[in-house]
Amino acid sequence: MEETIKDLQASGDVLFLMLGAVMVFAMHAGFAFLEVGSVRKKNQVNGLCKIICDWGISTIVYFLVGFPIAYGISFLKPASGLLGVSQGFELVHFFFLLAFAACIPAIISGGIAERAKFWPQALAGGIFVGFVYPFFESLVWGKNLLLGQEGSWLAGLTGGIPFHDYAGSVVVHSIGGWLALPAIIILGPRIGRYKGEKSTWIKVSSLPFLALGSWILTVGWFGFNVMSAQSLTGISGLVAINSLMAMVGGIIAALVVSKNDAAFIHNGALAGLIAICAGSDVVHPLGALAIGACGAVIFVFGFEVETEKYRIDDVLGVWPLHGIVGSF
Amino acid sequence: MEETIKDLQASGDVLFLMLGAVMVFAMHAGFAFLEVGSVRKKNQVNGLCKIICDWGISTIVYFLVGFPIAYGISFLKPASGLLGVSQGFELVHFFFLLAFAACIPAIISGGIAERAKFWPQALAGGIFVGFVYPFFESLVWGKNLLLGQEGSWLAGLTGGIPFHDYAGSVVVHSIGGWLALPAIIILGPRIGRYKGEKSTWIKVSSLPFLALGSWILTVGWFGFNVMSAQSLTGISGLVAINSLMAMVGGIIAALVVSKNDAAFIHNGALAGLIAICAGSDVVHPLGALAIGACGAVIFVFGFEVETEKYRIDDVLGVWPLHGIVGSF
Amino acid sequence: MEETIKDLQASGDVLFLMLGAVMVFAMHAGFAFLEVGSVRKKNQVNGLCKIICDWGISTIVYFLVGFPIAYGISFLKPASGLLGVSQGFELVHFFFLLAFAACIPAIISGGIAERAKFWPQALAGGIFVGFVYPFFESLVWGKNLLLGQEGSWLAGLTGGIPFHDYAGSVVVHSIGGWLALPAIIILGPRIGRYKGEKSTWIKVSSLPFLALGSWILTVGWFGFNVMSAQSLTGISGLVAINSLMAMVGGIIAALVVSKNDAAFIHNGALAGLIAICAGSDVVHPLGALAIGACGAVIFVFGFEVETEKYRIDDVLGVWPLHGIVGSF
């Protein structure tokens, strides 16, 4: 009977993390449609190819290089040994973390949309997922005891308080957003975006597709945040509600601040969710509401300052969205 | 070991209800795209904003006012106290019931599409979700022992038979549909819909988006019905199959009765699902098939009588769909 | 306490299979949008109706005839008896296998898109799901001990090695693909597709919808493959990862071989997933990567040979996709 319980627990954990992985994988469809809706019509197909191919390259690179760097676990052994005693929990764990890692090129892709050549971007994405991101990841969640772990260097420094990032506000979104910024600046604005003094707003091509992307992302986000518990018995209803409240804070704040602009409202939900990732397991739901609202306000004003004052043509607003909001 | 089992059970319940809540939350994307596909092109963006903002307002109002009214549970206490001993089950329970409550403005929105001003509608939605709906809810499922509970007033009257509404046919759909009717009548038809004697059919703008909305709703509906068990061990395969059969009954009946009209077929699936909500835990699958078929037939004829004879311009047919079918 | 464990196990199994069934059901939305995106604009609505109505007809026929043929279980008994001691596990099992069975008309539909009349096709679909498919199914997974079961005729012949098809590469995809081939040939090419010597490529109408269909299918596929374990404690992380790797192999191979063609890339992911279904529980992830890549290469070249050399106008490429790749 004891064995039945262990079996149930192990299977429950695998199912739990698998559902999370699939939900975060589905978020990549959200990235794709957010970009499809935001870019000009002629670049829609291009955006779709980029996202799905980046996913493919990320998987291979993270499987072979990134995951071993971050956690010291390699899968280059016979298939029978991979399942182990835990019904392949490590494999599903890889899938879950891969879905996080692959967000990096997807986030950057949104920033440099309509300008980057396919192969250089794919190559850069591969390097980020294979080397740069796993290095940061290992510092916070992984095997290099520096920032995030109990007993890490930072925890020693602060008397036992490690760096707290429950679902990757910093690890995923900040890194993605800040990596995107130089890329956007180097590539320069899209042709026709700024003419002399004049700043010409390029309309989104399809708000329904943009909204579809946003909806897919918000739904998948519950997998991103809730399943960050990484085991069934670690599940917390508070994380789910805080994600919900932050999203709502983002929606309402964006509605008010942007004066009812549909694109900002749908991105505001995402800004709220990004802002809450790190603290979603500790704050009160009303705190989450406020954090989400702040995230969206920062996003809306940040986007305007960035694109008008500094004239950085960030198509999907990824630097203010992921970079600033994630750091905050 | 006993503790492990209790842990597993509590976590299983939280996961179960969380999945349900996320699925019903995803249904709101379905409402959005059903409306996008059904309205004229110029009002697509408007519809998208309404649904997502209604969700935001509903969340805040139901959190602060509605849920306490219906169940007497308030969350205005420290975050550490919220998790309690059940890993935040009450919070997820709130999320699940919120997703139900927020259907009310979403349903009404479909009926008055293309006419209502943004803020008055948002305000009205907030009042419905914060006060009107929770009051009805409390009578059937909640703390006011009137209709639905064992030991309620109605059960006393009928000798122990309380009002049976497993997944909210009446509580959600009837109320939504009947509340929508006066709103539609007061606002009057869209300009150009009826000219003197002539009734001009306004074409749906995008059948693919309408179908997308319908598909999202049908998939999410399994969360709506199955997770109404509200605990993992209460799950019932019969509820799943009855939902399936009623949906199929709705599809086939709408196909035959409407003579192969795409919009009716996709709405027929929803009519079938609405009809079965209340009884999905007791009837036989073949009975569910018949109930679903009746639901779709009532919807198709009801819609024609309503829009042609009574000249009520109900864009998404929410009164016959939710109001009549839900009551039946 | 022992009872609690049994309850948990039974409920876990029902939930597990229900999630799988809903995910595979959602795949039918994927079929619908893959077809919407691939056909000409005027036939989009038609495609949507076909898929949803085929689902309806399949459900009724498989419930009444197909499932009893394949597994010898009939549901024509009182509702109270249906739940049994396992909370309706058999019913959810039926739902899961129905979602597989209904893929047959959906696959065929893609091949003969834009030509078939509605009712003849619906009738043929019903016959396939009600009789032809369940017969094959019974041989491999069901009650007729011929190929797939331990103790079957084939296992006796080969000394205990039954035919291995974990998630239906052959049972679902090969049968679907090969049944489609004669239908496509008999119906002949679409008008204007081949003119004398000239082969005129008919452009896909909407790549975003095609991509949406592909994304829905890939996400749902994890339900298709992982939940083929059919019980919670049988879950295997290896199956999830192998599905992932085969999909990625398909994407990358299609990207290289088709020289960056968006439609091929998105179908390549599906080709990879089809190729891995049968062996997803035994091979190594790197093997899965290779199998997926082969699947996509076969698909891309097979499609070109089929449509150019043999001039078979297979709109969605279902014969090379499901027929050849599935057999392989």
Angle between helices A262-276 and B44-61 (to 10 degrees): 40
Q: Which residues of chain C approach chain A closer than 8 Å at the C-beta?
A: 2, 5, 8-9, 12, 16, 19, 207-208, 211-212, 215-216, 218-219, 222, 226, 232-241, 244-245, 248, 251-252, 255, 260, 262, 265-266, 269, 282-287, 289
- State the pLDDT at residue C294: 81
Rounded Cα distance, A68 and A101, in Å: 13
CA dihedral A218, A220, A225, A228 (to 10 degrees): -170
CA B223 to chain centroid, in Å, comes to 12
Q: Which two tokens stand for residue A33?
A: 């449609």
3-state secondary structure C224-243: HHHHHHCCHHHCCHHHHHHH
C240-280 pLDDT, tens digit each = 888 888 888 889 888 888 877 888 888 888 888 887 776 67
**Range among A264-273, B116-125, B178-187 rated most confident:** A264-273
> Which residue in B has a C-alpha nearest to residue C96's C-alpha?
B241
- B245–C49 C-beta distance less than 8 A: no
A37-80 pLDDT, tens digit each = 887 777 888 888 888 888 888 888 888 888 887 777 777 776 66
Q: B150 vs B71, which has greater pLDDT?
A: B71
- State the pLDDT at residue B164: 57
Interacting residues of A240 by C-beta distance below 8 A, sequence separation 6+? A222, A225, A226, B18, B21, B88, B91, B92, B95
| pLDDT mean over C203-231 | 84
Angle ∠(B268,B274,B279) on CA atoms, nearest 5: 130
Nearest Cβ partner of C244 from A32, A59, A79?
Answer: A59
Angstroms from A312 CA to nearest CA on chain C? 28
- A79–C283 C-beta distance less than 8 A: yes
Distance, first Cα to last Cα, chain B: 49
Residue B226 pLDDT > 60, yes or no? Answer: yes
B122-158 pLDDT, tens digit each = 787 788 777 777 777 776 665 554 455 544 555 545 5
Residue A16 pLDDT > 60, yes or no? Answer: yes
Interacting residues of A227 by C-beta distance below 8 A, sequence separation 6+? A16, A17, A19, A20, A21, A23, A24, A96
Strands (E), A123-254: 194-195, 198-199
CA B136 to chain centroid, in Å, comes to 14
Interacting residues of B147 by C-beta distance below 8 A, sequence separation 6+? B139, B140, B153, B154, B162, B163
Residue B172 pLDDT > 60, yes or no? Answer: yes
Q: What are phi and psi of A258, to 5 degrees?
A: -85, 0
- State the pLDDT at residue B230: 79
Q: Which ipTM did the prediction report?
A: 0.84
Angle ∠(B23,B24,B27) on CA atoms, nearest 5: 95
| pLDDT mean over B287-316 | 69
Instruction: Outline where B142-282 has alpha helix (H).
Output: 153-157, 175-187, 207-226, 237-257, 262-276
Let me know how many helices (H) and strands (E) chain C has, helices first.
16, 2
Please report the sign of the dihedral spanned by the C-alpha atoms of residue A306, residue A307, residue A313, residue A315. Answer: positive
Strands C194-195 and B198-199: unpaired
Contact C15, B235 (CB under 8 A): yes
CA A5 to chain centroid, in Å, comes to 35
Angstroms from C296 CA to nearest CA on chain B? 28
What are the CA-CA distances from residue C268 to residues C211, C214, C218 (Å)? 11, 9, 11
Nearest Cβ partner of A236 from B8, B83, B94?
Answer: B83
Tell me the pLDDT of chain C averaged across its residues. Answer: 74
- State the pLDDT at residue C173: 61
- B233–C91 C-beta distance less than 8 A: no
Closest CA to B238 of B223, B225, B221, B253: B225
| pLDDT mean over B170-185 | 61
Subunits with at least 3 CB pairs below 8 A relative to chain A?
B, C
Percent of chain C, pLDDT > 70? 66
- B12–C12 C-beta distance less than 8 A: yes
| pLDDT mean over B31-36 | 86
A210-267 pLDDT, tens digit each = 889 889 988 888 888 888 787 888 888 888 888 888 899 889 888 888 877 888 888 8
DSSP secondary structure string for all residues of B229-253: G-SGGG--HHHHHHHHHHHHHHHHH
